[in-house]
Chains A and B, each alone.
Chain A
Amino acid sequence: MPLKESEAIVLRTYPMREADLLVTLFTRLEGKVRGVARSAKKSKRRFGGALEPLTYVRALYEDRERQELTRLDSCEVLESPLATEVTYARAVALGHVAELLDELLPDREANDAIFRLGLAVLGALRGPAIWMPVTYFELWLTRLTGFLPDLSECVACGRDLNGNRAYYHALADGLMCPDDKRLASSELSPESRLLAAQMFRAPIEKFAGELWPRERGADLRKFLLQILQRHLEKKLVTAGMLEKVSG
């Protein structure tokens, strides 16, 4: 079969046999693809640092007849997370992006919008600030995967929530007005809803210069993660680690 060439983001790798790596790539051409990088653990010649998670690469791979796993021929690094300092917070944020993409994307289904989102967020995660890129990524990913409910009306009665208080609950399908909120609901602040509206209208670069302490948009991130984890029916490993990141 002919070699395929595509831009890709490396999502994660697993050791396989003695010296091989099982690699999950998010390719622009075909979406999520799993393949084997032969001898990648032993010899760094062909792959170098290209198989580090969240490396943006140009990948050459070959599908094999009647085999699910592709054969990864080579990867050329286009941009590496190792080019700038990898702090603990940044490593957790990068891991979070990788885990969400890996868990949410179906195999072999191209999605250019999510690919471009991934690249934009990786660019924003070059620096030490993580909360803005993480918020932007979670918000847009929830929307692009079709899980984001309407933020402007109550899911129970349809009342307009603009200018009113809004609540969310792990078992509710969207935001609720004060009259319909469930027991132990949490509030999604008007500031965070405004932030979401702004993020839908502007590219990520527009928010780069703003001050983003951890508290800003924290309720929005919690709301989004609740939706995503409910859909995945599992807790995300990196979500717990993000909670512990300070600053």
Chain B
Amino acid sequence: MILTLPERAMEIQRAARASLGGTVEWQTQCIRRRADGDAPLSAFPTLAAIIENLWAEEAPIALLATALVSEEAGYAFSPLSPRPPLLLAWLRQRLDSASQARLRSTHSCTVSTAGDGVAENASVRAVCDANGRWRLEGEIGLIEDVGATAAVLLEARCDETSGLFLLSLDQEGVQRTAAEPLDLARPAFALDMGKNSPAFAEPMECSGARPAIFAQLRTIARISVAAEMVGIAQLMMELAIRYARSRSQFGQNIGNFQAIAHRCAEMLCDVELVRALLYARASDIDLRADGRAESAKVKMLAGHYCPAIVDRACHVFGAEGLTWHRGLHYAVRRIQALGMLWGNTLECGDEAATLLDRKLALALA
């Protein structure tokens, strides 16, 4: 049960907001500018430091702060995803010293678990050759970039289990395609491995059972994605309200009309509903236990509501909302793209239904 946010988590949130630039006025101008840029994370040094230190927080604070920082990234329409550094920082703590050293030697690294985040769908296979070298085969549709990414830390299936591998992108067997992604404002790429020549990767050793590590990774990623979706929904709602206050038709601001005002009120209801569950679960999911279904629920709810909020916000702008120059389409693109990352609404719904089964068992008991 969470009544109000812990002060420490709010401190981190404030710091993240300050590092990202903050005000909605500023963001209005920046959506388009940021959409064009490919700013490296070094453009946000404070945010990078906040993310780096997040996992040093006490357990109940860390995941909640992850959500809050990700929400701020969404609200500020950050060109760079907070997830790669977040997940990398979390994984680093779990790697053995040799793996940590290997990771340190890479220039810049991102994290993926085969795109959609569902283990059974892992599309990358790892094979150990006669020389004891590991080769990866398969493809990943979309990986969140950190700008000039040199390596990917990814999950691959080997025999009946999964392993964590560090794949350098600078080798012949790896084809990196910077196809035009749906989210034009955020760098991403697709990967093909081992098609024409072998794609070698280094196995990374983690403390603890691997399946559990991947499950925890998904939990963190889903909370982060859902939070970012809430941030974008909040931003778009605020932009729509500002527009409704200033746009005049029939001799008055359109925000005076109930049809518009009520639409905005409904947006607020929906964003508050998702945020309430997000904060609550981010506060009480125990990463040591299996939090997948709980985080899937949060992601499902965000996927159900946030794209609809963004659509409604665009509608307030009338045809302006559909223009290229207004730039709102960037938010539509991003919210749709995020909705598909780490399990889409239907996939997350399936996972969440396992909790429903437990509830049903209780209800029938």
Chains A and B bind each other: no
| Residues of B participating in the A interface, judged by any CB pair closer than 8 Å | none
